[in-house]
Amino acid sequence: MPKTGKVYIETFGCAMNHKDSENMLRELQEENFSQTSSPEDADLLLINTCSVREKPVHKLFSELGHLNRIRKESSKIGVTGCTASHLGDEILKKAPYVNFVLGARNTSKIREVLYRDGAVEIDITHDDSLHSFGETPISKFQKSINISIGCDKKCTFCIVPQTRGTEISIPLDLILSEVRKGVEAGAKEFLLLGQNVNSYGRRFSLKHQKIDFTKLLREISKVDGLERIRFQSPHPLHMDNRFIEEFATNSKIAKSIHMPLQSGSSRILSKMKRGYTKEWFLDRAERVRKAVPNVAISTDVIVGFPDENEEDFRDTMEVLEAVRFEQMFSFKYSPRPLTEAENFPNQIADEVAGKRLQTLQKRHLEILNSLAEDRVGKEYSVLFTDFEEGCLLGRTSEGYLVKSLGTEESVGKIKNIKTTSSFRTYMKATIL
């Protein structure tokens, strides 16, 4: 394969996967690869897979078949990410035209496997944490930074510990130097990424001073020129009072928080091995809202987990009513290979789970409509990041998308705005 060419990449799944894709693209730039959106023109085609969503294996092989039909004869195909970790050389057996397989914990080896046909690198104990992360901004003004890799939790529905391995935190110095580099390049907002960000500091690959997530936030917020910090995803179990106080009082921390509920039933939460109860979750959410009245809380919910009965589902509905999430990602449970829950008895019929999901989403839409109405006439601060057809686009600290008339000069700046009209997915506003 020539040491130059075009790379086409398809990314499925979470923000971590997108970050891995960015990191691989950056590595490939070192090999003189440039990105193309056309698979027919590519010299290298990558599918960065996810195992969390519906039918990941089926999706992978159907996409591989499609790419194989349309690609250039001389091109190579690589499969990376979580499904690569769990299927390994099965992929080469089923699709012998694939040139290499690279697990989610091994993406730093992309340049190495590029020239090794048949390579399968899926070691989930591989320490990718010191892989130096380069300039891969979300936009000129926003940058994401990995603060940890892997996950030590054992949620029974989740495949991540099997594909991304145990948790390793990135050293503080490396994170701070990435933030400073980002600020120098013009970034104002930083998104800290990890499967479980707020257990930061649990384990480092080398000897490291003791530091937890709250202290990390404090240290990052001291960097001159940084204006906003976001993070994804925290675990409700680790939201202690110290963290909530820092979240509320540190003006650099954006006032939106993801609190993945998964289920409102303590009985189901225990079967999921989430480590908290309905009461704990409600208490944390209430504390967060009390400390930051305008906070936007988002969540993930799974309905129809094995053995979930109507009473359990009512608990989930009760939490929805109590917290009134500003955003909710909700799914029907479906068993994932290599997870504990795959073999749980009392799997719920698809029809029953489907009905529950409908009920949940219908009520959530009503809540979203009423929350949107409440935002009219309110003031927010917005980081404008784009300008399209005379319209400025940006997000408030709470994460709401804002469209406002204005001039391109406001791009890259934080401005105060007043909402003139508000919908479920965005707001219109005037700059104050």
Residues making contact with ligand SF4 (CB under 6 A): 151, 153, 155, 158, 160-161, 195-196, 235
Distance CA 409, CA 146 (A): 31
Residue in the structure block whose two tokens are 């976001």: 230
Using the minimum distance from each CB to ligand SF4, give the nearer residue, 123 or 340: 340
Backbone angles phi, psi at 96, to 5 degrees: -65, -15
Which residues have a Cβ under 8 Å from the Cβ of 191 and sit 6 or more positions away?
Answer: 15, 138, 142, 143, 144, 145, 230, 231, 232
Using the minimum distance from each CB to ligand SF4, give the nearer residue, 144 or 195: 195
Task: Show the tokens assigned to 116.
Answer: 């090794």
Nearest CA to 428 among 387, 377, 370?
377
Instruction: For strands 391-396 and 256-258, give the pairing.
Output: unpaired
Report DSSP state, residue 381.
Answer: E
Report DSSP state, residue 71.
Answer: S
Q: Are 429 and 404 contacting, i.e. CB atoms less than 8 angstroms apart?
A: yes
Instruction: For strands 379-388 and 401-405, give the pairing.
Output: unpaired
Write down the H helix ranges in 115-240: 160-164, 172-184, 213-221
Cis peptide before 233 (omega within 30 of 0): yes
User: What is the SS3 assignment for 11-24?
Assistant: ECCCHHHHHHHHHH
Distance CA 369, CA 374 (A): 9
Write down the H helix ranges in 309-423: 310-323, 350-374
Nearest CA to 51 among 24, 12, 78?
12
